[in-house]
Copies of this chain bind each other. A is one copy, B any other.
Amino acid sequence: MSRLHSRRSWVESANGHPDFPLDNLPFGVFSPAGLAPRAGVAIGDYIFDLSAAGAAQLFTGDALRAANAATGEGLNALFALGSGPRRALRDALLALLDEASPRRDELLHRQADCRLHLPAHIGDYTDFYVGIHHAENVGKLFRPDNPLLPNYKYVPIGYHGRASTVGVNDMLVRRPLGQTLAPGNTAPNFGPSKRLDYELELGIWIGPGNDHGQPVPIGSSHEQVAGFCLLNDWSARDLQAWEYQPLGPFLSKSFATTVSPWVVTPEALEPFRQAQPPRPDGDPQPLPYLWDDHDQRTGALAIELEVLLLTNAMREAGLAPERLALSNTLNMYWTVGQMISHHTVNGCKLQAGDLLGSGTLSGPQRSQLGSLLELTEGGKNPLTLGNGETRTFLQDGDEIILRARCTREGFASIGFGECRGRVSAAL
């Protein structure tokens, strides 16, 4: 548990920093200008160079093992070590960066001068669908009277995504070409997607993993989590509508996925865990492999999620990005632990560096909708922006920025940094 008062660091910009105070300490992989990639920890406006700190013999024991496992190649080996060494490294960093400790400015790089990389090699990427309001909103577009399919409240629905096209800030997302079926037509057209959309999701980085054939019990499923990020599951709605039956989304999603570069640890998020909101009256009891008292008492996360849009016109006019939605991870119908136990109940093997997406985390209110598909009711009702522009779906040059923030009375607030991607014109 974090302290009741926020910790102070000799890195002055960390104190009161909206994302990266000393209480956060997310891991990432970065390159200082002209130098090779290395592992680091965000602290205020700076990055603390983990690799250099290890070489300077600032760690011992489990913390040293963890620091040595985090390299410029990626954090997979750190993730694989699990919570013990990760906590030891966090404790060592909390001490090293505390205002009572000697300054070590030689280990800091300005974030603004660094390039951030994908934090781990992704073995497999799985996207879930646990945002029940999103599932209802999308279902209503097809089945107004019966939006949720019969399996939804029993099965944490998920599908395999494409690992090779996951990237980090600042990602250029080329508008995909593909087949689409115009209303009333029976033969498809080919061309750039006209219904390009974003999806606001929580990303989960997998830690130790499991042996092939050995399910992860719900009681220990949280031990599999190495950390969290923001995830934008870019979606071409017109490609999706034509291709998705019977085997699910494919090219409508595989052109790009963007994640935020910093891995926020379960330790940093401990103060923001809470009981899973009770299931609405009449909802079925989950099957036993998905049900655990501890998971129900502590398995939900209270993370505020924000979507912002910056258009070319706004950029040229010097305007700030405009908020499109403010939602929360409490809109997850299933916990992360339930997602992991479901994923592995058939013996499927998870490995360190695998990435899970939550699915779009819309809330019940209009201001909480995590995609344009929902905000415009399938493109029927355009959105009017503050500068008078309108949008049904994304236009070239549009930049989508996701942010996340955790606040709780008596605890230091922490944030995730940004997840940024910008649409570029089709080939």
Chain A 231-260: CB-based contact to B (< 8 A → 1; otherwise 0): 000001001001111111111101110000
Q: Is the CB of A347 within 8 A of B255?
A: yes
A343 to B255, CA, bound (A): 10
Known: A123-B164, A243-B151. A248 touches B159 (CB 8 A): yes
Q: How far is the CB of A160 from chain B (nearest CB, A)?
A: 4
A12 to B224, CA, bound (A): 52
Contact of A158 with B by CB under 8 A? yes
Known: A155-B179, A188-B287, A287-B188. A162 touches B124 (CB 8 A): yes
A16 to B187, CA, bound (A): 50
- In the assembled complex, 9 residue pairs joining A and B whose CB atoms fall closer than 8 Å, in A order, are A149-B246, A159-B159, A159-B247, A162-B348, A164-B354, A190-B287, A190-B289, A247-B249, A251-B348
A347 to B411, CA, bound (A): 44
Contact of A207 with B by CB under 8 A? no
Contact of A178 with B by CB under 8 A? yes
Q: Is the CB of A247 within 8 A of B245?
A: no
Residue of B nearest to A158 (CB): B250
Count this chain's copies in the assembly: 2
Contact of A92 with B by CB under 8 A? no
Residues of A within 8 Å of B, CB-based: how many? 63
Q: How far is the CB of A151 from chain B (nearest CB, A)?
A: 6
| 6 A-B pairs with the lowest CB-CB distances in the bound complex, closest first | A248-B248, A176-B346, A160-B160, A159-B247, A255-B346, A251-B346
Known: A236-B346, A244-B246. 9 other contacts (CB 8 A): A123-B163, A151-B188, A157-B243, A159-B248, A160-B250, A164-B348, A176-B346, A190-B288, A212-B256
Contact of A7 with B by CB under 8 A? no
Q: How far is the CB of A231 from chain B (nearest CB, A)?
A: 16
Query: Which of B155, B163, B342, B348 is the one whose CB lies under 8 Å from A124?
Result: B163
- Chain A residues with CB under 8 Å of chain B are 123-124, 129, 149-151, 154-155, 157-165, 167, 174, 176-179, 181, 186-188, 190, 212-215, 236, 239, 242-252, 254-256, 284, 287-289, 342-343, 345-351, 354, 427
Residues of chain B within 8 A (CB-CB) of A161 are 160
Residue of B nearest to A161 (CB): B160
A151 to B176, CA, bound (A): 19
Residues of chain B within 8 A (CB-CB) of A246 are 149, 157, 244, 248
